Amino acid sequence: MSCSFEADSIVKKYKDTRILNGVYLKLNPSEIVAILGRNGSGKSTLLKVLFGVEKADFSFFKFNNKVLKQPYKYKDVISYLPQDGYLLKSLSVKKTIAMYLSKEVILPEIVKEFYNKKVEDLSYGNRRFLEVFILLNLEHKFVLLDEPFSGMSPIYTKLISDYILENKKDKGIVIVDHNYENTLQLSDKKYMLFKGVLKEIKTEEDLISYGYIRQ
């Protein structure tokens, strides 16, 4: 069954500044949405508000036309990859996967290589891949990824990108990342968070006009 997640009229203020100023976003299954923006524009704040762990001054959420208060409290709605990760480093990879995933899943070859290691012994790239792998195999219909490619070598950027594309069939995915060329290439819809609102990106000229890149 098709479903959607809508966020409307999101306002978030810090002191007297509106970081988010009436943001509207609709997510659909099988779509990847890119959200770009300059440092400090509010991208990470927006993801936290969408997930429900940061309180906005005003927000309105709907999932399948049902109004939600804090989306993360509903097990099948939305999951979130924070910039600094979420895994317990003291656990083994095997126990970590068993803790998060109740169903049997096909392990990618790269996960098989470090399956019996502890999370704390993984390289940064392997740990980030593991986090994305887990989120894309949860029951949640929508996934928010905050800088999944940050600090990644080209090899891991491609590994993570390919896995996202292979597993987007039944999920709506939001990617926030400064690796804009790769992020735009992956995405079906593209937005710039500019002056507190989402502006659709259609051409490279849009990136220039919003001050994201130089001509």
**104: its two tokens:** 């049997």
**Closest by Cα among 185, 178, 132, 180 to 156:** 132
pLDDT tier for residue 213 given thresholds of 50, 70 and 90: very high
| Contact assessment for residue 134 and residue 170, using Cβ atoms and an 8 Å cutoff | no
Pairing of strands 172-176, 17-27: unpaired
| Contact assessment for residue 198 and residue 42, using Cβ atoms and an 8 Å cutoff | no
The pLDDT of 160-185, averaged and rounded, is 96
pLDDT tier for residue 2 given thresholds of 50, 70 and 90: low
> pLDDT tens across 44-96, in order?
999 999 999 999 999 999 999 899 988 999 889 999 999 999 999 999 999 99
Give the Cα separation of 69 and 53 in Å (integer). 11
Residue 26 identity (one-letter amino acid): K
Residue 4: how many other CB atoms lie within 10 Å: 16
Helix (H) or strand (E) holding 191: strand 189-194
3-state secondary structure 60-127: EEEECCEEECCHHHCCCCEEEECCCCCCCCCCEHHHHHHHHCCCCCCCCHHHHHCCCCEHHHCCHHHH
Statement: residue 1 has pLDDT above 70: no
**What are the extents of the domains in the chain?**
5-209
- CATH fold, domain 5-209, is Rossmann fold (3.40.50)
